[in-house]
Amino acid sequence: MALYLIGDLQGCHSALQRLLQAVGFSPSRDTVYLLGDLVNRGPQSLATLDAVMALGDAARSILGNHDLHLMATHLHVRPPAKQDTIADILAHPQVDGYIDWLRHQPLVRHAHGVLMVHAGLWPSWTADKAVLYAQEATTALQSSGWRSVFYSMYGNHPERWSDGLTGDDRLRAIINICTRMRYLRADGTLDLKTTAAPAQAPAGLVPWYAWPDRATAHQPVAIGHWSTLGGPGSPAQAHKVWALDSGCVWGGALTALRFTEGFVHTEWVQVQCEAAQGVGD
């Protein structure tokens, strides 16, 4: 049995198929963990979602911000963005089935010795707390009142996590941290606007993974989301964070990390995206 982590697919169906072929993936034998943003911005969001769902329990996903955007757009909470490529899902006669499948995916997974989240972890969160807090949002999304989550989900406040947060503020903070986080300001508040690589970030911003005394500093963590950070040689890896979004949808590569139980041994595998090859999808 082989274990894999794969970064943001974002509708890059052809690249996913080629990557699974490159690693010799077998659904009857192997397991792949997908780090969120299955859909949007790439050329074939519907085909990508179909391919992932067809793998059954061999593919285990977490939610990213683009997956949540699809659900919010379906509910007419958010208007479609100019760059969206999710119209094929929204127009599908079985769209409710796709939405139900997505909302039953967690925000955080902890398996085989690695903690998986799309974007980031608050510095004071231990692995157990990350799973516990993320489960609060997952429970809300899986409840009969799940639609109400999206009417209060958007916004950049609160900018600081507190165990005492309640209600909409608490859920919004958990979702923002897990699906949008990249940087903290020097005063310990959340910056949700900057997307640049650490070397190009404005002064005074600290990547969340480099925050002093981070509670998960000795815990292997796998993330997606940050296309200017991810892939082999990422500076995050010095902090035991493996960043796997290598910008496939922007002309980069789709990245997998083969790992062993306990995260003892790892191996990078990449395929170039269609845009980089000049190939249609």
The residue range of the domain holding 80 is 3-277
3-state secondary structure of 175: helix
d(CA 181, CA 189): 11
User: CB of 249 within 8 A of CB of 10?
Assistant: yes
CATH number at 30 reads: 3.60.21.10
Q: Which residues contact 118 (CB under 8 A, 6 or more apart)?
A: 35, 36, 37, 62, 63, 64, 65, 107, 178, 179, 223, 224, 225
pLDDT value of residue 278: 38
Checking 267-271 for CB contacts under 8 A at 24+ apart, the result is 268/231, 268/232, 269/19, 269/22, 269/23, 270/19, 270/231, 270/232, 270/246, 271/15, 271/18, 271/19, 271/22
State yes or no: pLDDT of 184 exceeds 50.
yes
Domains in the chain: how many in total? 1
State yes or no: pLDDT of 277 exceeds 60.
no
Query: 114-165, pLDDT tens digit by residue?
Result: 999 999 999 999 999 999 999 999 999 999 999 999 999 999 999 999 999 9
Q: What is the mean pLDDT of the chain?
A: 96
What confidence category does residue 273 fall into, taking pLDDT thresholds of 50, 70 and 90? confident
